[in-house]
Structure 1
Amino acid sequence: MNWKERVLLLLMAAINFTHILDFMVMMPLGNFLMPYFQISPKEFSVVVASYSIAAAVSGFSAAFYVDQFDRKKVLLFGYTGFVIGTVCCGIAPTYFLLLVSRIIAGLFGGLIGAQVLSIVSDSFSYERRATAMGILFSAFSLASIVGVPFSLFLAGRFSWHAPFLLIGGLGLFVIFAVGKFLPAMRGHLEAAREIKENPLNMIRNLLANRQQVTALLLSGSLMLGHFLIIPFLNPYMEMNVGFTEWQRNLVYMVGGVASFIASPFIGKLADKFGKHRIFYIFCVLSLVPIFLITNMPAIKYYYVLVVTGFWFAISTGRGIPAQAIISNVVKPEQRGSFMSFNSCIQQLFTGMASLIAGMIVLTAPDGKILHYPVVGYLSIVIVFTCIFIARMIHVHKEPAFQPIVTEDYTPGSVSEQARSTASAYK
């Protein structure tokens, strides 16, 4: 991996870090937000889901035009709006304004994930893509190790406003770094313009492509299975297992460390032994900690940390090969649009997960979380089903790969490459 590739991955990881941290920290902040605004778990789940649903709407809309623009410009546009929305969350004085701010952040945030994955997929061949995804996913781990615990510390020390303002401040530095150091991403433009379609044709062609539909179903199912557990993990650990504030923070720190160590290793394993095989293995392994977490009695906290740390690492082990597999079902010149659809589906299913969990989970008079095991059983069924969905996705052999990260766009060169690539995806 040369230094340009390392810089690109570092920038994408920085974007992912702040983007994921904003989403992750919202869930454990339920302990602060529910009493502050005097809202129920169901109302809190609406705030969590509002971001995802808004992001799904913008991701779906963006799918029809993002491939007609420089990926860098789309990324900067979406990320800047996301930072503004996050700052608005930090200064929201009422539940309604917090909800509106989360929707604004989601509308712009829906553009981010798809562009990050498209840029990385365009820049690394399929044979090296899982390794790159492993490094990219380390941002999720860092958000768990440093971001969430520190954000919760700020919330406890000052107020719940502080984490959002912190993310907004970090976002300003990231905007500057991306604008200065990320090269133009225009290599797909000529080929994308040659195959420009109207929205109805794009949807019709996507629905007619069984591999792409299956890939979207896999992506959405993974999000649904994972995020059924997340929204009420922190309240359950406090109210049912008896964790203190510091011990709750340790859940994310230990889980983040485990994921951070595992991510690059898992990426290399997937490239060496096959993305599908590694995905199957980690899906099966993840069923055990899901059951244990959602049925956790009041036991010693270090036992809980072992289980939750294993779950974080294994969940990352599912996501890395899955995203590499999903990125391979579409041609490079259509990858931005497809990844926008993919991001839309992910956000939609994440929002659905929060809403479903909010409808299942109840709060007892003594504050304990009820029916959390039911959420766990549903998650197990969905994750296990993902194995059968993934088996229906076939790996296409890509032609000789030429990364399309370009500062100086040469007309004709990319379209020629794209035309030679097209037959592999029919």
Structure 2
Amino acid sequence: MTDTSIKATPLNRYQVLITVIIALLLFTIVVDYMLLSALSAILLPALNLSTEQFGALASAYAFSAAISSFISTGFADRFNRKSYLLFFYFGFILGIVCCALAPSYWVLLAARIVTGIFGGIVGSTCFAIIADLFLLNQRGRVMGFVQMSYAAGQIGGLPLAIYAANTFTWQAPYWIIAFLGLAIGLALVFFMQPLTEHLKQVQNQMPWQKVLQVIHKKNHWNVFLNNAFLVIGDVLILTFDAAYMANNLKLSLEKIPLVYVVTGGVTLLFGPIFGRLSDKLGKLKVFTFGTVLSIGAIAMYSNLQQATFAMIITIHALLFIGINARMVSSTALGMEVPKLKDRGAFMAFDSSVQQLASALAAAFAGLVLYTTTDGSLSRYWLLGLIVISFMLATLFFMQRIQSTIHKA
């Protein structure tokens, strides 16, 4: 099987509907995931947090998500994917409500753990559904559209959340996510059909045997490590991004939402383009382009001593274009590696690895950086060098993934 296709298969109406629902569902997951970092400039003084405490807070979701995803590896292919998704998505909404009710650091920390237990499995289940419903020569376009949920989160979700936090309290954005998530969950209940085709191929195995089966295959680890390195690079540079803009580059809190709006708009524009290019030109070529662009943006951004608003926006736009190209192409290609009967378990374990990587990266970022007496963050340049090294490593793994698929 090759990475490219002479003629892309069109999507039918049901596939389009499911793509939209999944994109909206992931929109809430993405906004929640990015929200804490975006609120770093507000939360650090509001709760009197050190960088180590904030790093722990940011990693709490990921650690709990990693554990729950790992446990679910042995069970993910034993249930109707629709029912499985509904259970964990409504659990995620419950966790969001807990965040909205949190009055202090420790209660918020516990709420983030609850949210991670459920939310960490939602994304992997969505990607398993995409892999089940769409052919390889359709997935680039689907992932390009689904990736728009990240852009929509930046354009509408984060600015609205930051505005609500500035106008009311930092808990207000979580109420918005909870009510929106409830509406999307109901749409999922009424419009998605049951997904049980994979149940016909599942063998009678104990959960631990399923886990061993997934992790024993060497070609799976190319995907696991590639995605882990992708996540580590993104989380390292973005966890303290808002605080870096506010305290080091002296950007006002009122202008920070505009950065997310502009970069989100660029991502929204390029997401579908990268999806089509991935299907037409090949996933590896698009991924390489995105990696080179991201490295250049990070090299500039992490070494800034001062910058204009226009410069900050431009560098962010280039960075998120690169990140978008990398995520669309790598996800679309990686989905082809597991067999249908292993897909849910594969995605669950992959999610576990990514969440663990995210947790470690967020905590590590808090250890690398420290707050000086004037409130600025020191050693951001070092963080940039570490991120670039992880990005270079992903090129090696993507090449191995493509070679594995070509041999299949």
Same fold (TM over 0.5): yes
TM-score class, shorter-chain normalisation, is over 0.9
Cα deviation digits, residues 183-240 of structure 1 (max 9, x gap): 1111211112xx2322343333333311101110001010001110011110010111
Q: TM-score, normalised by structure 2?
A: 0.95
User: 1:166 is matched with which residue?
Assistant: 176
Residues 285/196 of structure 1: CA separation in 2 closer, same or farther (3 Å cut)? farther
**d(CA) in 2 for partners of 1:25, 1:107:** 18
Aligned to 1:261: 269
Q: Which amino acid aligns with 1:364?
A: T
Is 2:205 the counterpart of 1:157?
no
* Partner of residue 237 from structure 2, selected from 194, 212, 229: 229
Residue 340 of structure 1 aligns to which amino acid in structure 2? A
Mapped contact 2:232–2:390 kept (Cα < 8 A): yes
Select which of 240, 252, 255 maps to 2:260: 252
In the TM superposition, residue 397 of structure 1 has moved relative to its aligned partner by 6.2
Partner of 1:180: 190
Runs of 5+ in structure 1 lacking a partner? Answer: 399-423
Deviations 1:265-316 (A, max 9, x none): 0011011011112112211221000111211222211111011011111101
SS in 2 for 1:188: helix
Q: Which residue, out of 297, 302, 311, partners 1:303?
A: 311
Q: Decide whether the 8 Å contact of 1:56 with 1:346 is kept in 2.
A: yes
- Determine if contact 2:210/2:345 at 8 Å carries over to the other structure: no
User: What's the CA shift for 1:97?
Assistant: 0.8
Residue 18 of structure 2 is aligned to residue 8 of structure 1? yes
Cα displacement (A) at 1:98: 0.5
What's the counterpart of residue 41 of structure 2? 31
Q: In structure 2, which of residues 134, 139, 142 is the aligned counterpart of residue 129 of structure 1?
A: 139
Residue identity matched to 1:169: F
Q: TM-score, normalised by structure 1?
A: 0.91
Distance 2:335 2:178 in 1: 30
72, 83, 105: which one aligns with 1:62: 72
Equivalent-residue separation in structure 1 for 2:102 and 2:229 (angstroms): 33
Distance 1:236 1:3, change over 3 A: same
* CA RMSD of superposed structures (Å): 1.4
1:394-413 mapped onto 2 (5 Å cutoff): 394=402
Partner of 2:119: 109
> Post-superposition shift, 1:395?
5.4
State how 1:187-336 maps to structure 2 within 5 Å. 187-192=197-202, 195-336=203-344
Tell me the SS of whatever aligns to 2:201. helix
Q: Deviations over 1:322-358 (max 9, x none)?
A: 0112111101121111000111111111111101100
- Residue 100 in 1 paired to residue 110 in 2? yes
d(CA) in 2 for partners of 1:115 and 1:204? 19
Where structure 2 has 5 or more consecutive residues not aligned to the other structure, the ranges are 1-10
The structure whose RCO (Cα within 8 Å, separation 6+) is larger is 2
Residue identity in the other structure for 1:67: D
How many corresponding residue pairs?
A: 398
Structure 1 segments, 4+ long, off by >4 Å, are 395-398
Displacement, 1:146?
0.5
Distance (Å, rounded) in 1 between the aligned partners of 2:329 and 2:276: 10
Counterpart position of 1:46: 56
